[in-house]
């Protein structure tokens, strides 16, 4: 049975399937409720067959005119038409929003998923590299960068950090336009984690990096690491990441995960140099309505 997820049980089932398939990117009912409050047109579908076995999703992306369409089915329930039924309902809802593009993501570890998307008219247009850093108890303290002070982000720095984030978003090596989230969304999504750090040069914000909580024991995700254009290639981004690693290890976390756009070789090199291990990529796909 496929239906719209609206009550607590269905939304919890949606989260259960999502987390089972993407354990490093779990989601909670509370997060879904918050996003629905901002965009009531979002669609969450569940497929139930002796328990929750699949999900569908339609929602916004960070690119104007582009809507996300997502279908996930647990391995034990695939090849029985559930994915096609979920897609048909999600596709119809997406068309009602009159998008210019429909997009999705499939795991590079699942070639069947990419073939499934291609049969429905989607083509690859980019990849996100997933990297994981397993933490030790005795992670070293980060070395100092001359003239730079790294501090915890407090509310009085929010406006300056947000301005730096907007600058960094403009410089991402993407093949499509993106909209920077508004301040309220940024505060709710990017600063909702346990800690964020800013790099200061004579009191001015020149770098920023946040850690975001994930509903998985011992796991944190890196948000955007941003450095002011005038201060790049001075080791600030590396120092921010090292500060995050040391803080996470000291506070009992076991693993950090980060996602870097294919083409952002600079940040990938920093991550690899700090001991992050590449995982199968996430492949971005899209099609016209």
Q: What are 183-199's pLDDT values in tens digits? A: 888 888 888 889 999 99
Q: Could you tell me the pLDDT band of residue 177, with boundaries at 50, 70 and 90?
A: low
As a whole number, mean pLDDT of residues 263-281 equals 90
Which residue's structure tokens are 């998985």? 216
Tens-digit pLDDT profile for residues 98-139: 999 999 999 998 889 999 999 999 999 888 899 999 999 889
**To the nearest whole percent, how much of the chain has pLDDT over 70?**
98
CATH class label, 132-278: alpha beta
Closest CA to 134 of 218, 13, 227, 54: 218
- Least confident interval from 24-28, 47-51, 269-273: 24-28
Q: Could you tell me the pLDDT band of residue 176, with boundaries at 50, 70 and 90?
A: low
Q: Could you tell me the pLDDT band of residue 23, with boundaries at 50, 70 and 90?
A: confident
From residue 161, how far is each of 60, 112, 229, 258 by CA, in Å?
A: 24, 41, 14, 20
What pLDDT does residue 286 have? 96
Pick the CATH number of 2-99 from 3.40.630.30, 3.20.10.10, 3.40.140.10, 3.30.479.30: 3.40.630.30
What pLDDT does residue 175 have? 59
Asked if pLDDT for residue 174 goes beyond 70, the answer is no
Q: Are strands 219-222 and 204-213 parallel, antiparallel or unpaired?
A: antiparallel
Asked if pLDDT for residue 164 goes beyond 90, the answer is yes
What pLDDT does residue 24 have? 79
Tens-digit pLDDT profile for residues 45-70: 999 998 999 999 999 998 889 999 99
Q: What backbone torsions phi and psi does residue 60 show, to the nearest 5 degrees? A: -75, 160
Structural domain boundaries of the chain? 2-99, 132-278
**To the nearest whole percent, how much of the chain has pLDDT over 90?**
76
Tell me the H-state helices in the chain.
8-21, 29-38, 82-96, 111-119, 158-170, 183-189, 236-250, 265-273
Asked if pLDDT for residue 180 goes beyond 80, the answer is no
> What mean pLDDT, rounded, does the chain reach?
92
pTM, two decimal places:
0.82
What pLDDT does residue 5 have? 97
Tens-digit pLDDT profile for residues 229-245: 999 999 999 999 999 99
3-state class (DSSP) for residue 246? helix
């Amino acid at each position: 049975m496929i239906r719209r997820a609206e009550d607590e049980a269905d939304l919890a089932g949606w989260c259960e399937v999502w987390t089972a398939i993407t354990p490093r990117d779990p989601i909670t009912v509370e997060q879904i409720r918050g996003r629905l409050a901002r965009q009531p047109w979002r669609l969450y579908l569940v497929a139930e067959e002796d328990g929750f076995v699949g999900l569908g999703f339609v929602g916004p992306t960070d690119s104007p005119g582009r809507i996300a369409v997502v279908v996930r089915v647990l391995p034990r329930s695939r090849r029985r038409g559930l994915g096609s039924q979920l897609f048909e309902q999600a596709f119809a809802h997406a068309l009602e929003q009159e998008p210019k593009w429909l997009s999705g993501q499939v795991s590079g570890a699942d070639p069947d998923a990419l073939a499934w998307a291609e049969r429905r008219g989607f083509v690859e247009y980019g990849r996100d590299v997933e990297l994981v850093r397993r933490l030790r108890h005795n992670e070293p303290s980060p070395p100092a960068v001359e003239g730079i002070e790294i501090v915890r982000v407090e509310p009085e720095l929010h406006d300056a950090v947000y301005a730096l984030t907007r600058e960094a978003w403009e410089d991402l090596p993407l093949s499509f336009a993106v909209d920077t989230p508004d301040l309220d969304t940024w505060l709710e999504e990017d600063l909702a984690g346990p800690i964020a750090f800013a790099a200061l040069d004579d009191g001015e914000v020149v770098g920023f990096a946040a850690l975001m909580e994930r509903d998985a024991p011992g796991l944190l995700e890196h948000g955007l690491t941003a450095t002011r254009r005038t201060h790049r290639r001075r080791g600030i981004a590396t120092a921010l990441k090292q500060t995050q690693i040391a803080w996470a290890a000291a506070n009992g976390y076991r693993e950090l995960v980060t996602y870097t756009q294919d083409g952002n070789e600079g940040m990938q090199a920093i991550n690899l140099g700090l001991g992050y291990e590449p995982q199968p990529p996430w492949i971005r796909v899209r099609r016209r309505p």
